[in-house]
Structure 1
């Protein structure tokens, strides 16, 4: 590995020498030097000569700053270029992150950390297969095509020869990200904190420096769905059977039917869904049908919690399948909508009149399976806690509860999920916690989370310092004076 890195440096010096020789032979007054970074994106630097060169001295003196593509650092077999740091700045700016307080040293440190994870992941034989990443790449390319209008424009924008080359580059980049994530997860997988460590962590923080937790609420809800009649369900099944017959008997295109009639986002891709396995989080009924069919087969209509489907198996790849589907939803009559509205209004009125508690009403009447047995209590999907930070919660939900007092019931409102299904619901705030300095008893779980995070950071730092000693690392002289968080320059301490 050491020899390989030395060869890289030798080649780089040769390139500079060749560039100088070419300059001495130049007879032009200006030319463009194209620099290419490690992502394949070209950069242009204009080189200006004051006059026709007559000797080497005239050639190399007057020009705007020119630096052949520089190697900032090497970690194992991975090279980090100066342009990679420039690209990191650009990515921050494009996502709206201020770079005013981010130094090149900090960015280089982060890039070296990422490369160390990837290097060690390969050493430890942590694998990421193409089949795991390909669906992500396909979705990303679909998104880019949607933004720019065509594959040709995407290829041109990213300066690639064709879409296959772009996909291969994206695949490599995403595999590296996943490798780094898995390596980091492996490093901290055994990091745990005891109650005593949590206590020490908290009381070691000076009182005036302890965290302040934002205002939070605990929320319960009651959801009433308009009843779908048997006639409405049968109408959807009949319609899907018509599609199926046209596809199976007449050779009609499943993808075209999906584009024209399917009621979800996958319609834009002809109903095509990302590859999945039996263990992936799809509806059980959907997976049962998908894995019961042969390649090319089209299913009979079937129902899930999301709607009514037919699906076609495009390809079976070992334990994975590629499928297309068409989803339809039963039409709701105005009579069933009015009946549901009347029901939800009556339930709310009984709660306000103290005829029944909110929790009991949720258990008896709510149509939402996930919350009704819990008295309607919502769980924060980001941390599986019942508390919601008012500054971070979903804006739609936040608008409904922001001004509610503890125990107060909201007005009935109409909600619509991503499938387009509409429901009536109302909410209550079961507990409200005002903004406050951290309290060891009341905020134990949050403090435990902070203590665990700190322990994970310490674990990673120790791991990094050990692996830095065991790994070939070279940092360019331009960055030798950087104050890195880890000892990348291997200075004696």
Structure 2
């Protein structure tokens, strides 16, 4: 099915490039005659009262798209990054990758024209996180990292990464803006399905419905109070004695995502991020204030507001996680063993046992039924199932109760669960009634692609674009050469 194949390919290539870090120059390009197809004149606005422009020649410019340029080195670097991620680039041509870079620059350029704003603080926070991740790959050596990326100092690396991330964020937001209001009607789904030749309709693999019952060890009130008292001691030392909040976060915080950078996060009132309780505390405080201990699903925190910039708050926090005792861990397992025995003996159904005894709020009311996060229904396609879940249920017969599995929750605390396969649909050709939700998703993806293609066609015509050198010989899917 040609159009579905193309759709999947374009989506795949787009996903590959989401996290590729490309060198980006964001100077404005004047539409002036150039010495050759491989060079352009770049203008940089001078910082004086006359707002004059100073021209300088830049080599290796592959293309100009509005206010952005694409360098020859960007294409090379994109290939290297894909290969570093284990992608087989033999199936991706240089022209295809170059075309994707042109699209990204067109999105970013139009985002500026549409007054789309990205948070500089959020971008800086993202750069901080990326630097931390990169340093872990080079044993914490900034010198090695700078050598790897060909930079003289940390500031130049951070500056480039800031511009890269900002451009990527603008591009992503513009793409979201193009399709944000798209919906699809049942009639459109029917038309989409009927136009697929019967011998080309997709085959959906075997699907299972899976339910689980979870037992989570209880945390004693004494343990909770111990953690709260510890955080109160931290606050007193910081407020009364001038101790460093950042140092305590590095030494004691149990948040792996922020401890190494002193517990630092940037919050924005318009962008939901972090637990609701965390945001409520942060946005109720004044600059420099340190909170009392408070609880979220992750544990107990104290929080300091470092800086307020309108809608943005730079905050630091220390997280401590109460731990269950071995006795409490054993009690949770024993409780689940008794529940399992009742189900196996036929005293209670799996669904009723889940509603009665499961500690997992998200699934308890549905009789323990798991929801597929990709499709938002109860069906899990066997070949696309999470590896860990597949391992746990692969040998289960329908209606059979699994043995007890031990896992860790997001905070590292142990929990126990049992599973059951509650339904099965064998591999089959797409059926409109049975597979409506999957067909609807395919139809919506096609509609999104068509909308983006129409948008690109219009904006390419309205935007200054110049392709240089051998890239003019590429056969683009979009009219970048304006022929």
Q: Give the TM-score taking structure 2 as reference length.
A: 0.84
The number of residues matched between the two structures is 439
- Partners of 1:279 and 1:13 lie apart in 2 by 41
CA distance in 2, matches of 1:238, 1:132: 33
- Secondary structure at the counterpart of residue 108 of structure 2: helix
- Is structure 2 residue 70 aligned with structure 1 residue 80? yes
Q: Is the Cα contact below 8 Å between 2:110 and 2:174 reproduced in 1?
A: yes
When structure 1 is superposed on structure 2, of 413-422 and 332-341 the one drifting more is 332-341
Q: Is the 8 A contact 2:122 2:266 kept in 1?
A: no
Runs of 4+ that moved beyond 4 A: 7-15
Whole-Å Cα distance in 2 between the matches of residues 320 and 472 of structure 1? 35
Q: Distance in 2 between matches of 1:14 and 1:225?
A: 64
Partner of 1:37: none
Task: Give the secondary structure class of the aligned counterpart of 2:370.
Answer: coil
Could you tell me how far apart the structure 2 residues matched to 1:294 and 1:190 are? Answer: 37
Pairs within 5 Å for 1:43-192: 69-148=59-138, 149-192=140-183
State yes or no: 1:392 paired with 2:418.
Answer: no
- 2: CA distance, partners of 1:84 / 1:305: 43
Residue 195 of structure 1 corresponds to 186
Cα distance in 2, alignment partners of residues 14 and 241 from structure 1: 61
**Structure 2 residue corresponding to 1:321, chosen from 313, 324, 328:** 313
Bigger mean CA deviation after superposition, 100-109 or 287-296: 287-296
Secondary structure in structure 1 of the residue aligned to 2:308:
strand
Compared CA separation, residues 489 and 228, structure 1 to 2 (3 A): same
- Quick one: structure 1 residues 8 and 282, their matched pair in 2 at CA, closer, same or farther if it must change by over 3 Å? same
**Separation of aligned partners in 2, 1:314 and 1:2:** 35
Take 1:409 and 1:80, find their aligned partners in 2: how far apart are those partners? 57
After superposition, the Cα gap between the structure-2 partners of 1:177 and 1:339, relative to the gap in structure 1 and judged at 3 Å, is same
1:471 pairs with 2:463: yes
Deviations 1:213-268 (A, max 9, x none): 23322222111112222222222222222323332333322222222222220222
Match of 2:220 among 200, 219, 229: 229
Deviation of 1:278 after TM superposition, in Å, equals: 7.2
Give the aligned partner of residue 451 of structure 1.
443
5+ residue gaps in structure 1?
16-67
Separation (CA, whole Å) in 2 of partners of 1:122 and 1:406: 55
- Contact 2:269/2:311, CA 8 A, preserved across alignment: yes
Structure-2 residue corresponding to 1:215: 206
CA distance in 1, matches of 2:28, 2:155: 33
| RMSD, aligned CA | 2.6
Question: In structure 2, how many angstroms separate the alpha carbons of the residues matched to 1:13 and 1:342?
Answer: 73
Cα pair distance change 1:471/1:332, threshold 3 Å:
closer
| Local SS of the residue matching 2:265 | coil
Return the match for 2:278 from 261, 280, 286. 286
- Any stretches of 5+ residues in structure 2 without a counterpart? 1-26, 42-57
1:382 aligns with 2:365: no
Give, in angstroms, the shift of residue 140 of structure 1: 0.8
Moved more, 274-283 or 110-119: 274-283
CA distance in 2, matches of 1:118, 1:158: 24
Indicate the SS of the match to 2:304.
Answer: strand
Query: What is the aligned partner in structure 2 of residue 39 from structure 1?
Result: none
- What is residue 442 of structure 1 aligned with on the other side? 434
SS state at 1:367 partner? coil
Distance 1:407 1:235, change over 3 A: same
